[in-house]
Structure 1
């Protein structure tokens, strides 16, 4: 992002990205009046190599909430909604999670050091940014072609970075290199991280949170005066990753991707772009550590193929038309190999999903218009046709188990005799209006109707036994999940309102939003079971449609205290409240974050930046009884970070949770790993990280 645009819209970035909770704000506030489709909210400066670790850490600093999972696989939360309700695009590619626990979500395939910029638009997102979502869109850009001025290919720049965290003894490394000429561009970015299980505020190990991961990406691009062609290749390898709030761990994940982009200038400043994407995932689950022992292999292979065609056509009166066509195709096979000699897991392979198919075809049109220097409007319509299907399945055995009826055998027979092909027609519509009241304040209104069709696991998970059903679910709650072939798509109607003021010394913003969701995919209790111990009770849940509402508000203030020879001193304050409930009976929805406030004192002197931040999260007492969600106590954290740049070297020192407070994660689910090691402890909430010293160094050459 250009510095001028960043400074002018700093408040608007904070409102739209900080908590990912306020629909539509980032669109109108970030883009030039007639050029909104090029919106980017920078998560870091273009080409910044200093961020290390998972993309979660970068987006977390932007304020996006996360539902805890593995070290590379936490699921982002916008407007109180997570998982597939958020459209996540990595360099424009739509990557599906190929796992019954969503252990390999889209953001796991890109590390923070690879990210050039992020765009977070919650709720009322334009139809041109993507469909099949009701919570919003997160766009991540990693490799963007950059061309030089010379006729021959010359070295541009490179970087090396390394970091260490005391709380998990993690080691993180990244590297990048680029070369270019006037018409050719080449770039590589890679990252590696190895971490032990972290420790909580009492100094105890948070069991089964260790992991090791590496991501690599390569880019080659060519351009002439009117067009650009780029090829991107990616590879990921995660040999192991612990999931404390799941019954299984990830024992291998290999991802391979290819992307071809073509951009061409048209007459009258128009543009045409085409993109072709392919991604293959080979995924295994099981057990690899004595922190959570066991034996049960699970193997999944998934592939995504998609293309996008887009036209940007400005008109002489300043209006802009955006037209597009998109196609997405997901294939999935999920098989659990038999364990030799096991009475429960054999003698046949358990086939969870066979030849699973999810296909989307989309058309959209969007119009942007300036009514006057003060009034701006964007409106669009998007139509998608979604089809899903899957083949026949089989249980481990069709015989009774230890003289008892085999629920999976009966469920497989019922599933195989069912008509499984489903189709859904989705119609999205969005209107965004902005009023520029003066040089320093704006008012924005957003309205949207958005839809999301069920994913393959929500529709086709069929097992009814305790072991089979508890292998499905990305919620970290220890319950068992069963799909429903006849699930209907979710339809959300969202209203948002935002006010912002940006003066010389102070920036102020307030925003509120409300979403009414018809056919929200939630759960109903169809049984219960006990995993053993003093309190091992869990529920058997089936995905179902019901009506829900979610709403929230945010207040943000940034005030410059002073600026002079001692540097620039400023203070930031923010508060966010969120509520989600089922409309029938007003029962709370799952994993709704309680009230959160933040107060930070920041100082900058030349290339030296320091920030002291205090974060307070209220008691979580609005919990989902169907999922047996735990309450969590209120807590506060004090974090200190200081960064200094000298020529090409940047050094960072951070102390997180400076006072070493113990706290439990309100969006962390339960610690299945601790329960497996001590069943009398029950399903306790997952604990957060204790005091941690973090050091990193980055060198650009």
Structure 2
């Protein structure tokens, strides 16, 4: 069994002011602690397990009511706590969105999942840029490149997505935008603004800060935004432990410090904007440097990641409508090796360096044409050119020499898209939207070779020569013609009920790692894993695109002032050619251990329901009291094998008691997640017990100062992340079964946080 690091985390000394507010809200805490426990906390007999917990942040989600954006939800980034105070991971801000959960990765790189579909099955745009994870473990996803403090808006389109924001995805779209540029009024003095913020979080000694400075006159804006953050390994909860060898509840366990969970990052961005009459021209230059990000569910750690980007956008207003054009370029230099918690024991090799270099060039043109007061036509074209080299330099004089291992050589993935979308207000009650999108996706890769010399001997050398020869002899050039279609309708029954109907067909082509990873050698295969389950993966050049057929309906009951809301959204998704995993040809999956698997097209279905609501409770001398609730349920199945789909979040719910008193905005949350007793058999997905967490958040605002304080996991509950994958954080991780199977990644224990933001 792998060794569990058990060093103590430095304690967080609460100040007197923290003690005062904690005591002042003891009564508030008691109200919810005394309430009924609304979800199962049953424990499982098997070793607990797999995937990241839905610990929803207190972000308020308001459904977009404008007819131009059906089927979307906005994240209110400033309601309950400053985003940068709560997390360094922008994806974590989506926890309060109906239907969204997170697949845990590193501290900066969670992978959002919308109704059971995650990662590359979602389209994620950052300031209009389509960014791709250039890593065999997807350690650098798109949202990891924008700091929470630099977000201006965050919008989610779940399931049935308008074609104007979809494409090459089947699960939905996430659109992240930085703050829009400000300008002085004509003839007025120039604007000079800024913001400085800092925070500390106790559990993992997380600390960080951000600064933004802006100068603008009536036609020109220039802004700098910078942020930095650093954290140590986090500590698991203390109140309950499960023996990592037997999985029997109640036995002592050394799971204190969660190994390979530390991180450090620095972000810098300079943006300029120029008003050209009613038009706008924007240029932004950005760089991110991550010296270290460790991953508790991967066999490698990110030891350096440098991203540089340029984005040029033009927004024009005309008599007939508007025009938006953009061109962007991104370069990523990514390095992996073993961090301090992972042991490397392999002959003379000092480590196992793995490098990835990615380059993305993209452009888009989008027009909105006002055909009539009730008709809007959107037309657009997009292009993306992506290049990837994934190579592992020789190390030592043994099995990882004398050559560079070419995991993906000269990888290419190009997309060209056209779309048309017609939105019409039929009358005051009915709004419809019809769209069609065509994408031409081509992929290719060059010839490869492994570490082994062509004259080498032994099984490892023989396998590399055999696999590379078969790959090089294959026809690697692939071309896909993908068609998406969406039909949406909104019906306003009366002032208190809105109903949305949606049908969609959405298509995604395989990524480069799904098609072109070639080695069945266990050590190499386990390094190609972007789902965090500890297994090894081999690609299939002949994979077909996934085609999803989606139907959903939303019922939105609300008062006229929206203080009372209840939204219920049932959905059903059927996916043809779903890319799942199977045993290698001629092999079988061995239970309770890690295996080498191969990607394969199969059939899948996912159904479920999302519920969200809020209501006022009372108003008295202690302020305005309210209640909020969110419930998510998804059920996924492989139709070919009748196996469960991997990484489906169990039934989960969040209930919050809110209080507003003067400039105070406070909340007490209860997050409850059902046990995960069923999982993917082919991947040996680990089971997890149900759990309930409590979070307390307080915020006070003055004219130019905001103070955020709170405690997450108040009861210091020990739990495993249902979507956190396998705990492969330490030990002989390069040996496929050199680390014990059966332990999931523990969630973070009690953590106090305090943050201050000053605007000037």
Per-residue deviation, 1:434: 0.8
Whether 1:688 aligns to 2:721 is: no
Structure 2 CA distance for aligned equivalents of residues 236 and 379 of structure 1: 39
Structure 2 CA distance for aligned equivalents of residues 633 and 292 of structure 1: 30
Structure 2 CA distance for aligned equivalents of residues 529 and 168 of structure 1: 43
Whether 1:414 aligns to 2:414 is: no
Structure 2 CA distance for aligned equivalents of residues 403 and 276 of structure 1: 49
**Which digits, 9 at most, give the CA deviation of each residue in 1:71-127, with x for residues without a partner?**
111111111011100000000100111011111110110111011110100111100
Please tell me whether the aligned partners of residues 527 and 541 of structure 1 are also in contact (alpha carbons under 8 angstroms): no
Q: 2:531 is matched with which residue: 469, 475, 487?
A: 475
Per-residue deviation, 1:288: 3.2
**Which digits, 9 at most, give the CA deviation of each residue in 1:147-194, with x for residues without a partner?**
111558734311111111111001111111111111111112121110
Per-residue deviation, 1:226: 2.8
Q: 2:711 is matched with which residue: 655, 658, 683?
A: 655
Residues 290-301 of structure 1 mapped to structure 2, 5 A cutoff? 290-293=341-344, 295-301=351-357
Please tell me whether the aligned partners of residues 195 and 210 of structure 1 are also in contact (alpha carbons under 8 angstroms): yes
- Of 551-560 and 131-140, more deviation after overlay is shown by 551-560
The structure-2 alpha-carbon separation of the partners of 1:529 and 1:205, relative to structure 1 and needing over 3 Å to count, comes to: farther
Structure 1 CA distance for aligned equivalents of residues 228 and 344 of structure 2: 26
Structure 2 CA distance for aligned equivalents of residues 304 and 694 of structure 1: 37
Q: Which residue of 2 aligns with 1:58?
A: 93
Structure 2 CA distance for aligned equivalents of residues 448 and 385 of structure 1: 19
Structure 2 CA distance for aligned equivalents of residues 403 and 682 of structure 1: 25
The structure-2 alpha-carbon separation of the partners of 1:528 and 1:475, relative to structure 1 and needing over 3 Å to count, comes to: farther
Q: Which residue of 1 aligns with 2:328?
A: 277
Structure 1: gaps of 5 or more residues: 1-18
Residues 238-637 of structure 1 mapped to structure 2, 5 A cutoff? 238-268=290-320, 270-293=321-344, 295-341=351-397, 343-397=398-452, 398-402=454-458, 406-503=462-559, 506-526=564-584, 537-637=593-693
Please tell me whether the aligned partners of residues 128 and 366 of structure 1 are also in contact (alpha carbons under 8 angstroms): yes
SS at 2:270's partner residue?
strand
Please tell me whether the aligned partners of residues 73 and 157 of structure 2 are also in contact (alpha carbons under 8 angstroms): no
The structure-2 alpha-carbon separation of the partners of 1:291 and 1:528, relative to structure 1 and needing over 3 Å to count, comes to: farther
Structure 1 CA distance for aligned equivalents of residues 487 and 220 of structure 2: 40
Structure 2 CA distance for aligned equivalents of residues 292 and 694 of structure 1: 33
SS at 1:661's partner residue?
coil
Give TM-score, length-normalised by structure 1: 0.92
Please tell me whether the aligned partners of residues 529 and 537 of structure 1 are also in contact (alpha carbons under 8 angstroms): no
SS at 2:95's partner residue?
helix
Structure 1 CA distance for aligned equivalents of residues 755 and 470 of structure 2: 56
Structure 1 CA distance for aligned equivalents of residues 265 and 471 of structure 2: 37
Structure 2 CA distance for aligned equivalents of residues 619 and 584 of structure 1: 25
Q: Which residue of 2 aligns with 1:166?
A: 202
How well do the aligned residues superpose, as a CA RMSD in angstroms? 2.5
- Of 667-676 and 362-371, more deviation after overlay is shown by 667-676
Per-residue deviation, 1:654: 1.1
Structure 1 CA distance for aligned equivalents of residues 400 and 340 of structure 2: 20
Structure 2 CA distance for aligned equivalents of residues 38 and 218 of structure 1: 33
Give TM-score, length-normalised by structure 2: 0.85
Per-residue deviation, 1:143: 4.0
Whether 1:41 aligns to 2:78 is: no
Structure 1 CA distance for aligned equivalents of residues 234 and 676 of structure 2: 23
SS at 1:128's partner residue?
coil
Q: Which residue of 2 aligns with 1:14?
A: none
Please tell me whether the aligned partners of residues 57 and 112 of structure 1 are also in contact (alpha carbons under 8 angstroms): no
Whether 1:131 aligns to 2:189 is: no
Please tell me whether the aligned partners of residues 230 and 263 of structure 2 are also in contact (alpha carbons under 8 angstroms): yes
Please tell me whether the aligned partners of residues 75 and 94 of structure 2 are also in contact (alpha carbons under 8 angstroms): no
Structure 1 CA distance for aligned equivalents of residues 221 and 170 of structure 2: 37
Please tell me whether the aligned partners of residues 117 and 141 of structure 1 are also in contact (alpha carbons under 8 angstroms): yes
Please tell me whether the aligned partners of residues 581 and 597 of structure 2 are also in contact (alpha carbons under 8 angstroms): yes
Structure 1 CA distance for aligned equivalents of residues 91 and 367 of structure 2: 32
Q: 1:236 is matched with which residue: 277, 284, 288?
A: 288
Per-residue deviation, 1:290: 3.9
Which protein has greater RCO, CA pairs closer than 8 Å, 6+ apart?
2
Structure 1 CA distance for aligned equivalents of residues 586 and 154 of structure 2: 42
SS at 2:402's partner residue?
coil
Per-residue deviation, 1:436: 0.1
The structure-2 alpha-carbon separation of the partners of 1:233 and 1:529, relative to structure 1 and needing over 3 Å to count, comes to: farther
Structure 1 CA distance for aligned equivalents of residues 401 and 342 of structure 2: 25
Please tell me whether the aligned partners of residues 165 and 694 of structure 1 are also in contact (alpha carbons under 8 angstroms): yes
Q: Which residue of 2 aligns with 1:4?
A: none
The structure-2 alpha-carbon separation of the partners of 1:403 and 1:446, relative to structure 1 and needing over 3 Å to count, comes to: closer
Whether 1:30 aligns to 2:86 is: no
SS at 1:262's partner residue?
strand
The structure-2 alpha-carbon separation of the partners of 1:38 and 1:134, relative to structure 1 and needing over 3 Å to count, comes to: closer
Structure 2: gaps of 5 or more residues: 1-53, 239-254, 346-350
How many residue pairs get aligned? The number is 672
Whether 1:115 aligns to 2:151 is: yes
Please tell me whether the aligned partners of residues 50 and 698 of structure 1 are also in contact (alpha carbons under 8 angstroms): no
- Of 424-433 and 546-555, more deviation after overlay is shown by 546-555
Structure 1 CA distance for aligned equivalents of residues 140 and 121 of structure 2: 16
Per-residue deviation, 1:31: 4.2
**Which digits, 9 at most, give the CA deviation of each residue in 1:607-652, with x for residues without a partner?**
1011001111001012001111000000000110101112211111
Q: Which residue of 1 aligns with 2:141?
A: 105
SS at 1:682's partner residue?
coil
Whether 1:699 aligns to 2:751 is: no
SS at 1:447's partner residue?
strand
Structure 1 CA distance for aligned equivalents of residues 582 and 659 of structure 2: 51
Structure 2 CA distance for aligned equivalents of residues 223 and 664 of structure 1: 51
Q: Which residue of 1 aligns with 2:721?
A: 665
Structure 2 CA distance for aligned equivalents of residues 441 and 617 of structure 1: 30
Structure 2 CA distance for aligned equivalents of residues 443 and 224 of structure 1: 41
The structure-2 alpha-carbon separation of the partners of 1:642 and 1:411, relative to structure 1 and needing over 3 Å to count, comes to: same
